[in-house]
Amino acid sequence: AKSTGRGQVKFFNNTMRKKLKSHADIENDLQHGIEHNEFELYFQPIFSIQHCKVIGFEALVRWHHPSKGFVAPNDFIPIAESTGQIINLDLHLLELAAKQIAAWQQQGKRFLRITVNVSSRHFASVDFISQIHAIYNKYALELGSLCLEITESGLIENLELATKIIEGLAPLKVKLCLDDFGTGYSSLGYLHQLPIHVLKIDKSFIDHLTDTATPLVDAILSLAASLKLDVVAEGIETQEQLSILQKTQCDFGQGFLKAKPMPAAQAILLIDKPL
């Protein structure tokens, strides 16, 4: 028992050391990565549930690290959030998204719905509203061309502040999407108080759509309908899940069944087309 104990301690320490080291590495590398343009936005199609027509994209970051190769967002976004670098990173990615939207608009690809993830820490920072206005001006974006995705916790921790920020963005017709809906506080009381436009049903609910029993998803959909919110179902992986959703009021979908996140040049070829 003693040797097992020692072994466990040793194992734990090595794992910890490795974790800490890679954490510190990533922290150091993030700023360098922003300055050296190592981040690329991929775009995952969002499509109409009924006809599977592509109506827009969610921008998802990819990091081409010079020595580590491809690093997935879940391996650096949480670290960037804990060090505070997320504000710089988010801003850089918003700028990349705006640049891409402007390029598409110049090619006549208008009325796209492009959604960009924003961390709650950035969303709630003092300069957020003016930063978004500055980006809109810099890239001469058309009104309504940007949708921001924020998770529940980010919005409801401070309802008053969130409302103020959303109202500050209203002149630009920036849309607000509540991401991962259903996984956080799930207190429905706050929903009608928030001037948001889109609900994104979390993948965990879609995972459970394996037969006709969909009381939770039905409840979310009728709630959204009564609040006049658009609904996107994320993480659709099977034809069965899609077929079930097609029998509901769900407006839009997203998921590996139809399309994975892809580079901008590939994504734009899909616009207005059925998948």
Contact range with ligand C2E by CB under 6 A, out of 9-17, 68-76, 123-131, 181-189: 68-76
Rounded to a whole number of angstroms, the CA Rg of the chain reads 20
- 3-state SS, residue 212: coil
Contact pick of 18, 106, 256, 274 for ligand C2E (by CB under 6 A)? 256
Contact range with Ca ion by CB under 5 A, out of 19-27, 104-112, 141-149, 204-212: 141-149
Q: Would you count residue 74 as binding ligand C2E (CB under 6 A)?
A: yes
Least spacing, CB of residue 72 vs ligand C2E, in Å = 5
Q: Would you count residue 56 as binding ligand C2E (CB under 6 A)?
A: no
Q: For residues 253-272, which are near Ca ion according to CB under 5 A?
A: none
Residue 56 interaction partner, one of Ca ion, ligand C2E, none, beta carbon < 5-8 Å per kind: none
Dihedral through CA 191, CA 192, CA 194, CA 199, nearest 10?
Answer: 50
92 exposure class (CB count in 10 Å sphere: 0-12, 13-18, 19+): middle
Contact pick of 29, 152, 179, 251 for ligand C2E (by CB under 6 A)? 179
Query: Which lies closer to Ca ion via its Cβ, residue 33 or residue 261?
Result: 261
Q: How far apart are CA 241 and CA 247, in angstroms?
A: 10
- 273 is written with which tokens? 């087309």
Q: How far apart are CA 234 and CA 252, in angstroms?
A: 9
The set of residues, in sequence order, having a beta carbon less than 8 Å from that of 136 and lying 6+ positions away, is: 98, 146, 172
Q: For residues 234-253, which are near ligand C2E according to CB under 6 A?
A: 235-237
Residue 255 interaction partner, one of Ca ion, ligand C2E, none, beta carbon < 5-8 Å per kind: ligand C2E
Q: Angle at CA 260, nearest 5°, toward 259 and 266?
A: 80
- 231 is written with which tokens? 């609904």
Q: Would you count residue 81 as binding Ca ion (CB under 5 A)?
A: no
Cα 1 from chain centre: 47
Contact pick of 47, 71, 87, 90 for ligand C2E (by CB under 6 A)? 90
Residue 119 interaction partner, one of Ca ion, ligand C2E, none, beta carbon < 5-8 Å per kind: ligand C2E
- 19 is written with which tokens? 């974790």
Q: Would you count residue 152 as binding Ca ion (CB under 5 A)?
A: no
